[in-house]
Amino acid sequence: MKLLVCIKQVPDQESRFEPDAAGVWYSETDVAFRMNEYDEYAVEQAVQLRENLGEGAELTVLSIGPDRVVEVLKKALAMGCDNAAHILDNDASRKDPWQIASIISSYAEDKGFEIIFAGMQSQDRCSAQVGVTVAEHLGFACTTTIVGFEYANGMITVRRELEGGMKGVVRLPPPALVTCQLGLNVPRYPTLPNIIKAKKKEITVIPVADLLSEEALVATTGFYPPAKKCGGIVLEGDVAELVDKVFVILKEKTAVLR
Amino acid sequence: MKILLVGEYRDGRLLNSTYELVGFAEQVGGDTVMLLVGSETQLPLYSGTLYLADATVCGEYNPDMHKRLILEVVQKENPDYIVFLHSSYGWDLAPRVAAALGAAQLSEVIALADGGFEVGCCSAKMRRTIKPLTNRAVITIQAGAFAAVQSEGGFDLHKVSAEGAGRVSFLAYEPAEERAVDLAKAEVIIAVGRGVGKKENMPVISALAKAMGGELGASRPVVDAEWVAHSQQIGTTGQTVSPKLYVACGISGAIQHLAGMKKSEFVVAINRDKDAPIGEVADVLVVADVMQFVPALTARLSN
Ligand SMILES: Cc1cc2nc3c(=O)[nH]c(=O)nc-3n(C[C@H](O)[C@H](O)[C@H](O)COP(=O)(O)OP(=O)(O)OC[C@H]3O[C@@H](n4cnc5c(N)ncnc54)[C@H](O)[C@@H]3O)c2cc1C
Ligand SMILES: Nc1ncnc2c1ncn2[C@@H]1O[C@H](COP(=O)(O)O)[C@@H](O)[C@H]1O
């Protein structure tokens, strides 16, 4: 059984985001990149399934982006993916979710994948579109925001997370795509022996031009911080002074200390 | 301008979030029609054309079937925008409809913006203005971003149905877990976020909660990592709270967390990142390391 997991490299979310020269996305200066958090759960679930299936199963990890995305591909290989596809695109951040999905589906089209894992959303773009759109392009069954996954007797059974803590239990047949939510599992840390083993695994590089045929459907015209809500104050400085200030505020503004 | 609103219905009930779609459409301006897969016993307070499919026939969660229903209404009404809530129903269905129509999709819109729509990005620390390049667009709106609008005018009801089955079968709902503490009643909540670092640091936060006479709440990663019980999670997929005082320790302020606590009367946030979006709802943002600030505050309170 062939499996695919799609991962995106995103900035560490504690980074300071500054607009790029065009003012439509963040500048990459001083930004540290890591694996999209949702995708870590996707990789872990895919690896667990791959381990359960044993011989004959093959798990590919895919990422679209510039050279730096090799880092997250290596991490996914060290977590247990068998091989990687790096779709080399220096301009990936300019593509809209429709184009990213089209690139993934053109890659996947003729490879015979039966289950595809994606993250529920990317932390930087937050569109929650790519996974479902890939499924539509490929004609796969699809469900989203899963917090439980089981594959048995040729059927996939998942728990979908709904609002207010309720869940929905859903069953679907392969070929299928699922999008993974936080808390689905506990993503493993790659161990040193696995990191070394992963060095031998193959990373195929494919130029994006070979796969992209779609135009963007959405344009970004601005990138900026949220308008500050007035009223709130920001306190900075020495901890002892901060404590004194907060103590006074709590006394004046709340009933807690009365 | 014509706008198709796709209402929400779950576990036999019309969801109030449906009215936020109407609020959004009023801001955009134009005629609306609504499609609801629900029940005749739970009709919305909406005036206009209402297409109703029976959820007992079409399922509450049956994406293939719901997609077909929407496409059928799109064919009849030829809407410019098709609008969903950005919810477990909406983000699941919207891309399917957009793909079928080759239409642009704009996710989790929070406001109308000059020349387009405003959306959040980078874990809500930043915003973007985006606009569709196609004539027709599929839009999901952020829960809570647009005021709910109800109207008593009555509607013109059209029943619709779809043939065939779907590949995804819905088996059952699982209710939310039992809650040991009802945080909704708490007057003071000390909430723990991932910035607290590790489970071993929890006693430091518990000590503050004790000093303040408050209950412990938590963000989702902390619950997932099992530092606290699931029932202590605050946010869209946890509890909604409105204490007199909310102290957020190492919580970034993701929209799903804010949705559960922004009605708090007074919010103090401790975060080492001055730009953390929790600052948007905090009355006081203390820029500090939680593990330095919290013990010092506890000591001061205990004096
Ligand atoms: C459909 C859906 C539903 C969700 N439902 C919920 C929900 O109900 N509730 C919920 O909370 N989340 C929910 N989430 C997850 C949400 O998007 C965020 O991922 C989550 O709220 C982040 O938790 P956090 O703030 O603790 O962690 P992070 O986002 O990792 O933030 C940690 C913060 O701590 C700060 N920090 C780090 N170290 C220190 C230090 N030493 N001192 C001070 N500050 C420090 C950092 O600057 C950062 O701001 C949901 C997500 C989705 C997609
Ligand atoms: N550049 C990319 N390369 C590979 N997968 C991606 C990329 N962008 C998005 N994805 C996948 O699509 C999911 C949803 O992304 P988004 O629609 O941008 O929120 C992510 O969690 C990834 O699984």
Nearest-CA residue for atom 4 of ligand 2: A63
**How near does any CA of chain A get to the CA of B291, in Å?**
11
C-alpha B79/C-alpha B74 separation (Å) is 6
Q: Is B244 within 8 Å of A239 when comparing Cβ atoms?
A: no
With an 8 Å Cβ cutoff, is A139 touching chain B? no
Q: How far apart are CA A118 and CA A103, in angstroms?
A: 14
C-alpha of residue B191 to centroid of ligand 1, in Å: 11
- pLDDT of residue A258 exceeding 60, the answer is no
Chain-centre distance for alpha carbon B57: 27
Asked if residue A131 has its Cβ within 6 Å of ligand 2, the reply is: yes
Give the pLDDT confidence of B140-159 residue by residue, as tens digits.
Answer: 999 999 999 999 878 899 99
Distance from residue A120's CA to the centre of ligand 2 (Å): 8
Give the fold, CATH level 3, of A2-210.
Rossmann fold (3.40.50)
Please provide the average confidence, as pLDDT, over all residues in chain B.
95
Q: How far is it, in rounded angstroms, from Cα A188 to Cα A171? A: 26
CA dihedral A4, A28, A15, A84 (to 10 degrees): 20
User: Which pairing describes strands B126-132 and A218-224: parallel, antiparallel, or unpaired?
Assistant: antiparallel
Residue B12 has phi, psi (to 5 degrees) of 80, 10
- Reported as a single tens digit per residue, the pLDDT across A103-122 is 999 999 999 999 999 999 99
Are B133 and A244 in contact (CB < 8 Å)? no
- Which of residues 201 through 240 in chain A touch B, CB cutoff 8 A? 215-226, 228-229, 231-236, 239-240
Dihedral of the alpha carbons of B96, B101, B104, B106, in degrees to the nearest 10: -40
Please indicate if any CB of chain A lies within 8 Å of the CB of B236: yes
The domain ranges of chain A are 2-210
Contact A24, A59 (CB under 8 A): no
> For the range A15-19, what are the long-range contacts, defined as Cβ-Cβ under 8 Å and sequence gap of 24 or more?
A16/B275, A17/A225, A17/B122, A17/B125, A17/B126, A17/B275, A19/A223, A19/A224
- Asked if the peptide bond before residue B132 counts as cis, ω within 30 degrees of 0, the response is no
Mean pLDDT throughout B80-99? 98
**pLDDT, tens digit (0-9, with 9 covering 90-100), for B216-274:** 999 999 999 999 998 899 999 999 999 999 999 999 999 999 999 999 999 999 999 99
Q: Give the Å distance between the CA of A35 and the centre of ligand 2.
A: 11
B149 touching chain A per CB within 8 A: no
CB-defined contacts A:B, below 8 A: 254
pLDDT at A253: 84
Other CB atoms closer than 10 Å to residue B172's CB: what's the count? Answer: 9
Cβ atoms within 10 Å, residue A174: 17
Structural domains in chain B, sorted by start: 2-159 (3.40.50.620), 183-302 (3.40.50.1220)
Q: Which residue has the tokens 């079968």?
A: B169
Instruction: Report, in angstroms and rounded to the nearest whole number, the Rg of chain A calculated over CA atoms.
Output: 21
Q: CA–CA separation, B13 vs B10, rounded Å?
A: 5
Q: Do A145 and B115 touch (CB under 8 A)?
A: no
Q: pLDDT-derived band of residue B165, with 50, 70 and 90 as boundaries?
A: confident
Residues in Cβ contact with A161 at an 8 Å cutoff, skipping those fewer than 6 apart:
A145, A146, A147, A167, A181, B88, B237
ipTM over 0.90: yes
Q: Report B:98-117 residues touching A (Cβ under 8 A).
A: 98-100, 102-108, 113, 115-116
What is the phi/psi pair of residue A92, to 5°? -60, -35
Q: Which atom of ligand 1 is nearest to the CA of B194?
A: 26
Question: What are B110's two structure tokens?
Answer: 């929070």
Q: Residues with Cβ < 8 Å from B109, sequence gap 6 or more?
A: B24, B86, B117, B118, B119, B139, B140, B141, B142, B145
| Cβ atoms of residues B36 and B7 within 8 Å | yes
How high is the mean pLDDT of chain A?
96
- The minimal CB distance from B105 to the residues A129, A159, A224 is found for A129
Q: Is B121 on the interface with A (CB under 8 A)?
A: yes
Q: Categorize the per-residue pLDDT at A229 as very low, low, confident or very high, splitting at 50, 70 and 90.
A: low
